[in-house]
Amino acid sequence: MIYTVTFNPAIDYVVRLDCELKVGDVNRARGEDCVLGGKGINVSGVLAELGCESVALGFVAGETGAWLERGLAAQGLKTDFVHLEHGMTRINVKIKAEKETELNGAGPDIPEGAMQALETKLDRLQKDDILILAGSIPASLAQTTYERLLARLEGRGVRAVVDATRDLLVNVLRYRPFLIKPNNHELSEIVGIKLTNDNEVVTAAKMLQEKGARNVLVSMAGDGALLLDEQGGVHRIGCPKGTVVNSVGAGDSMVAGFVAGYQQSGGNYDTALRLGTACGSATAFSLGLATRQDIEKLLKTI
């Protein structure tokens, strides 16, 4: 089974304007949408499009949390959230006008008891289950939270996938995560060297492997992606043609596609990389998360 964790899920209230946002005045929207999300939830959504079942874990609070939970169930996603006694699941306001403006909510505080409840759920994971940790850690939790969870699972054969930045990523390498997914700019920041070509990216990825990562998937936006697998193989793929209209969720979609491709092919890294690239691109070329139809269309061009 695949499990995703979203520490601070959100309801994105997306408002579209025909003109520039007028600060201090009344603005009339031409349309609006509510999108249920968070990085782990995005991964679960794309996995569902690919026919892979997953369970979305994390924390919800208040009426907004109940709404989010019902909405995900209506989409066919399985959830097993910890319900917080205080606060409310955040609402992020996304104003799409001539310039895009965002106002992101803080979300509820997560007390120690709630973390322990999440750990109890993780204790049920079995050998070869996949746990996907994606995104930042809320301010109410220690920045060592990823380390805490992976230390608890150490030695049990659970395959961890970590999509995070800087210290959050580097500090979990000693727990030998199955997959990490920095982009090329994040990888540059980690190794302290500007990466200008594939050879330099491979060298930097090997440095993270030496610290414990089993597989390193480096996304490079319009330049495609590069995978260094745990057998030492280097896999390089370009990006399909299309117009980028949305960067939100593209990385989450790539993670979902890679994991689904790896599972469905019996561990073939080329298949996993192709499907991951198709999923990431399909989301980038769409206003929302990738659909199966768009993914399959792009797969034929890669």
Catalytic residues: 252
Look at the block and give the residue holding tokens 């109410």: 140
- Residue type for 169, please? L
* Burial degree of 198 (CB within 10 A; 0-12, 13-18, 19+): middle
Burial class (CB in 10 A: 0-12, 13-18, 19+), 267: exposed
| Terminal C-alpha separation, the chain | 28
| Closest among 67, 68, 16 to 38, alpha carbons compared | 68
Integer Cα distance of 177 and 165 in angstroms:
14
What is the DSSP code string of 232-253? S-EEEE----------TTHHHH
User: What's 184's DSSP letter?
Assistant: H
